[in-house]
Amino acid sequence: MKNAKERLKIKINKNSKSILLFLLLSTTMLVTVPLTNAVDIPSYAFLSVKPTPIGVDQTLTVIMWLSAAPPTAAGAEGEKWEGFEVAVTKPDGSKETLGPFTSDPVGSAYTFYVPDQIGSYHFKFSFPGQQVTGTEAISGRSVDYYYQPSSSPDVEITVQADPILSYPD
């Protein structure tokens, strides 16, 4: 009887070691494998600055947007794009930053700018990237997306001494 108990004890000890090793390896794998299904999505930035040419001290309209609307945005609810900035380079080489701006639910924002020098201005819109988690507004499914940073192409505006005519009412 004693031999049977000893054999059972040895068998239990070997099984315990196997189970312990299995649990240890499983725990290690959980630590190294991400627990999220986050998806990286490229973003595409666009910028419109109008009118051009324009007169010095007249108002430009600067419109910036991404190719995708924020997936959880619905009216006033949900996340909007954050951190929109527009870099402005003046004719004398000095720089100015407009923003940061938060988008509307369709992924765009706008501002006004009054150039104070004659010559060529350069505008460039940048989006810093953003993690979006929550419930998608259209489908209602859960999302965990990372929209990658992006920048628009450079937009050049000509500012002249003479004012341009405004649009008729």
Task: Give residue 29's pLDDT.
Answer: 40
Listing DSSP states for the chain in one string gives -HHHHHHHHHHHHHHHHHHHHHHHHHHHHHHHS-S---EEE---EEEEEE-SSEETTPPEEEEEEESS--TT-BTTBS-----EEEEEE-TTS-EEEEEEE---TTSEEEEEE---SSEEEEEEEEE--EEEEEE-TTT--EEEEEEPPEEPPPEEEEEESSPPPPPP-
**pLDDT tens, position by position, 91-102:** 999 999 999 999
Note the pTM of the prediction, 2 decimals: 0.75
Residues 23 and 106 in one domain: no
4 plus 60 within the same structural domain:
no
Whether residues 108 and 43 fall in one domain? yes
Instruction: Judge if 51 and 82 occupy the same domain.
Output: yes
* Residue 134 within a domain: yes
Mean pLDDT, residues 113-126? 98
Task: Verify that 10 and 58 share a domain, yes or no.
Answer: no
pLDDT of 60-78, one tens digit each?
A: 999 999 999 999 998 888 8
Per-residue pLDDT band for 32 (boundaries 50, 70, 90) equals: very low
User: Domain range holding 4?
Assistant: 1-33
